[in-house]
């Protein structure tokens, strides 16, 4: 694993984001949510009518992965400061806080044009965040030991 903690954190965030995105797209395929995280990320940059546009989705994809990498860095540094005991639980906690910030505070401020509209999508998108944090924490703990996390 890399000895650079920022790169390592980005990598941990990306690993967690793979699982988060997979679950979100499954929920989307079943019609349980109207927008995935890629759509919501696109909504930060374009009007609602353009959210499904492929170029908009690419922009949303980039935004989502940049955020995932950044939060991965936060998780890695949190584990370096507090120790890697309960890394999965700490990651889940960061995932929960991320959900509250992005889908509580920012959605309430209408920062994105992708509106979740009903309570069910709001609840369902909580679980990919928990999974993201848990996987990123697990990855950081498992592979960070080799580089003295």
Q: Judge whether residue 100 has pLDDT over 70.
A: yes
Q: Of 3, 126, 141, 140, which Cα lies nearest the Cα of 71? A: 140
* Distances, alpha carbon 13 to alpha carbons 34, 56, 115, 125, in Å: 24, 22, 25, 17
Domain count for the chain, please give it.
Answer: 1
Q: What is the pLDDT of residue 17?
A: 98
Residue 64, token pair as written in the block: 């989502």
pLDDT digits (tens, 9 = 90+) for 21-80: 999 999 999 999 988 999 988 988 988 889 999 999 999 999 999 999 999 999 999 999
Task: Decide: 149 and 141 in contact? Cβ < 8 Å.
Answer: yes
Residue 147: pLDDT band by 50, 70, 90 thresholds?
low
pTM of the model: 0.89
The residue range of the domain holding 139 is 5-147
Residue 80, token pair as written in the block: 């370096």
Residue 7: pLDDT band by 50, 70, 90 thresholds?
very high
As a whole number of angstroms, the distance between CA 145 and CA 20 comes to 24
């Amino acid at each position: 694993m890399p000895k650079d903690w920022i790169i390592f954190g980005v990598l941990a965030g990306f690993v967690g984001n793979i699982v988060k995105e997979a679950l979100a797209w499954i929920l989307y395929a079943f019609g349980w949510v109207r927008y995935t995280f890629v759509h919501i990320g696109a909504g930060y940059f374009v009007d609602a009518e353009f959210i499904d546009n492929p170029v908009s989705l690419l922009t949303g994809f980039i935004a989502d992965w940049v955020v995932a990498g950044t939060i991965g860095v936060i998780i890695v540094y949190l584990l370096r400061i507090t120790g890697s005991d309960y890394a999965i639980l700490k990651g889940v906690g960061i995932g929960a806080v991320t959900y509250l910030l992005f889908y509580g505070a920012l959605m309430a401020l209408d920062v994105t044009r992708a509106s979740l509209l009903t309570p069910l999508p709001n609840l369902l998108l909580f679980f990919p965040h928990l999974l993201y944090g848990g996987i990123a924490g697990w990855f950081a703990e498992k592979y960070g030991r080799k580089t003295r996390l």
